[in-house]
């Protein structure tokens, strides 16, 4: 598995070095019992043509490895590919625990699974890519509102991690995110609205009777 992942990251990074590729990885824990890990790779048509490759060929090569036999890989367009992992893989790299009204997500990707040391030789290129239009990001969606994250920027229930910056700073692939489940005020708002409506109708009825 280590060899397969190493090949995949080197291939993906080779495309990213051209600056004509967008890469998005999304881990969604909004449905606590059914988390999803989804990735999308978009490659400019001229780059595919330059390397004499197609999205269909890349898909076929990935599906040819045993590691990806349980993954869902789809060709979205002639220049984009989507990939979704099985739940078992998500559980292998992440743990979500609940403490009172807080959710704590821990993601730890050990080096024996994914070693990014190959990227150390490309720091200057990574810095150029980070300041260009190329994107390589990891988005994590949590249940509730995020109140703490040791990496990336968060807003409401989503953390966005710039993978270029992560590789440049040589940070460990270890993320810890805490979110807080807000109380549902919808029922309270509904009850308040009903009471106000009843009060308004009552006042209108009283005024009408007074006029009569």
Q: Judge whether 76 and 40 are in contact, CB under 8 Å.
A: yes
Cα–Cα–Cα angle for 94, 140, 90, rounded to 5 degrees: 30
pTM over 0.75: no
Task: Quote the DSSP letter at residue 71.
Answer: S
Query: Nearest Cα to 114, choosing from 57, 161, 166, 59?
Result: 166
pLDDT in single tens digits along all 212 residues of the chain: 444 444 455 455 555 555 556 788 999 999 888 999 998 888 778 777 877 888 888 888 888 877 788 889 988 888 888 999 999 989 888 999 999 889 999 998 766 666 666 666 667 767 776 777 677 889 999 998 999 999 899 999 999 998 888 877 777 778 999 999 876 556 667 788 888 888 888 887 777 666 66
Whole-number Å distance between alpha carbons of 95 and 105: 6
């Amino acid at each position: 598995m280590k060899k397969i992942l190493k090949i995949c990251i080197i291939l993906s990074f080779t495309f990213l070095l051209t600056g004509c590729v967008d890469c998005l990885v999304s881990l969604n824990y909004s449905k606590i019992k059914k988390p999803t890990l989804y990735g999308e790779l978009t490659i400019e048509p001229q780059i595919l043509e330059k390397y004499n490759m197609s999205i269909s060929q890349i898909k076929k090569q990935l599906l040819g490895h045993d590691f990806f036999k349980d993954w869902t890989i789809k060709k979205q367009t002639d220049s984009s590919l989507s990939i979704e992992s099985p739940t078992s893989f998500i559980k292998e790299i992440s743990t979500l625990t609940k403490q009172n009204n807080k959710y704590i997500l821990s993601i730890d990707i050990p080096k024996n699974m994914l070693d990014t040391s190959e990227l150390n030789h490309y720091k200057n290129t990574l810095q150029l890519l980070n300041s260009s239009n190329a994107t390589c990001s990891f988005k994590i969606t949590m249940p509730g509102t995020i109140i703490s994250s040791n990496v990336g920027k968060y807003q409401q229930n989503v953390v966005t991690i710039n993978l270029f910056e992560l590789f440049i700073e040589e940070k460990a692939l270890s993320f810890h995110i805490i979110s807080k489940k807000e109380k549902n005020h919808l029922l309270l708002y509904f009850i308040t609205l009903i009471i106000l409506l009843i009060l308004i109708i009552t006042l209108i009825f009283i005024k009408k009777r007074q006029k009569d």
